[in-house]
Structures are given as C-alpha cells and as structure tokens.
Amino acid sequence: MRPRGAYIPPMSDHGPLPGLPFLKMHGLGNDFVVIDARADAPRVTAGLARALADRHRGVGFDQLAVIEDDPTADLRLTFWNADGSLSAACGNATRCIARHEMDRRGVAALTLRTERGLLQAVDAGGGLTSVNMGQPLTDWADIPLAHAMDTLHLPIPGDPVATGMGNPHCSFFVDDACAVDLATEGARIEHHPLFPARTNVQFVHLVGPDHLRMRVWERGAGVTLASGSSSCAVAVAAARRGLTGRAVKITLDGGDILVDWRDDGVWMTGPTATVFSGVLTPAWLAAVP
C-alpha cells in the first residue's frame, strides 16, 4: 500500500508526450475515463465523449470526467455520459477523483465544484472515500418532472419514487430486483414523458433492516454495475417511504456502498480504484468527428 503523503504525479505530469493523457478509474465497477484539463488539454466535445466511450474503438466508460481549476474549490469536475450528453452529478467518479487527488496532495479532505454545487470529500479510512452529494431534491419542479405531482408516488405502473440528486432518478421498490428485465424496463422508463430531461432508473428490494439490493439503468449510459447518485436517490426514497432508516447499506451488481442521509446532505462511502493510465494518440484524436 502506498504510504500516506507519498508523491503521486498529477495526470498531466507525464513529460512531453504526444496526444492526450487520461486515467481509467472505477467505483464498484462503475467505470470512468478521467481527463485532467488543468494542463493544455483539448476541449472535450460530445463527439470526443462518444468516441472515448466506445469499448471497441475507444477506451470505454460509463461516464467521462474532466478536471479543471476552480477559484473557490480544490478542483472543478464536469461529467459526460457515454452518449455524449452532459450530467450534473456522478457520485462514484467524484469519489474516485477525490481519492486520487487526496493521495497526490497528501491531504484527508477536498472540496470539489460540480454542477451539483460545492461537494466535500473526506478520507473515511480503510481505503474508503466519502463524498457529501448535497441535499436531495424532492419537489417535482426541481427534479424535474413534467408537471406538479406527489414525488413519493408517481402515476407510473409500479408506484415509483422520484428524487433529484443533481440528475433525476426514478426508483421502483419490487419483490426481487434481480428478476427485472433491466435493459428493457430501464430504457423504457428513461424516456418516460414525466421526465423531460430523461431519468436514471433503479429497481430495489429490501434485503434486511437498512440493507437494500439495487440494480440501475443510467440515463445516457445504460446498465451499469453501480451508480453513486442512484444509490443516494434510492436511500432517500427508501427513507421517505419508511422502508429503512436514513443510513443504509446498498448492494449493487458491483458491490456494496454505504449511504447516510444526514442534516448536511447525503453522504456516500465506498471503495475506489485507479486501474491504468494511458495516452490517446494524435492520430486517434484527429479522427474523432
């Protein structure tokens, strides 16, 4: 294990390499390409995001995260989905980047600016990283939904809950989340007319006291092994429904994550992994539409 305080170079400290350096990270199998734009990096476009997301001709990811400087935070993050659309929040990518930066700087806490707002990340010990994803949004207009309604009981078969975590979420509580045809149902609900900005979709069942089993379809990405913002939304929805307390363990296809809805926001804690670094070649970049 790397000792605390050991120097880790920033992603742009590779020397005079041609092309564009990147890191590949994942949180519970929810995987990301990370580009450090604090150096002279090309501007990320929807076309570049889609090309990078191609698991056969690019690198492959659920989300792309871009790091930039910020005048009032330790860094700023922008997130892209695999289909080239922007996302305001990505909890697992935020945790992964926070862990990398905390190790690089030799600190135990960071602030990160996202479209979700100013987020705090801390070293939770034991190799785990916690991020406060902010207060959940439960009003229909903030999520957003197409018109006024009770967000705790949507008029959709299956009686789901709507929650905003910077991006919209639709959570179904079912008898067996593993029995759901996730690819079919997730794609259908993502584009439901009640969600004008589309939605992430979760199917969840109760395993035991304060323990949930969840599977997730992410807006703009499809089936993923885990999702941080979805985990936060499900924890909030379960607590609002009276199914659990405000601190829960959620078992996803990729592993377990802990979510605690506190007075200051929804805290998410789990493991992270930096898998490899690489460089996108100039020839590949030049061919991106």
Q: pLDDT per residue over 117-157, tens digit each?
A: 999 999 999 999 999 999 999 999 999 999 999 999 999 99
> In the prediction, which pLDDT does 43 show?
84
Whether residue 15 has pLDDT greater than 60: no
pLDDT band at 14 (very low <50, low <70, confident <90, very high): very low
Name the pTM for this structure.
Answer: 0.90
User: Domains of the chain (ranges plus CATH)?
Assistant: 20-133+272-287 (3.10.310.10), 161-263 (3.10.310.10)
Average pLDDT score over the chain: 93
Q: What is the mean pLDDT of residues 43-68?
A: 95
**3-class DSSP string for the chain:** CCCCCCCCCCCCCCCCCCCEEEEEEEECCEEEEEEECCCCCCCCCHHHHHHHHCCCCCCCCCEEEEEECCCCCCEEEEEEECCCCEECCCHHHHHHHHHHHHHHHCCCEEEEEECCEEEEEEEEECCEEEEECCCCECCCCCCCCCCCCCCCCCCCCCCCEEEECCCEEEEEECCCHHHCCHHHHHHHHHCCCCCCCCCEEEEEEEEECCEEEEEEEECCCEEECCCHHHHHHHHHHHHHHCCCCCEEEEEECCEEEEEEEECCEEEEEEECEEEEEEEECHHHHHHCC
> In the prediction, which pLDDT does 39 show?
75
> In the prediction, which pLDDT does 69 show?
95
pLDDT band at 92 (very low <50, low <70, confident <90, very high): very high
> In the prediction, which pLDDT does 16 show?
44
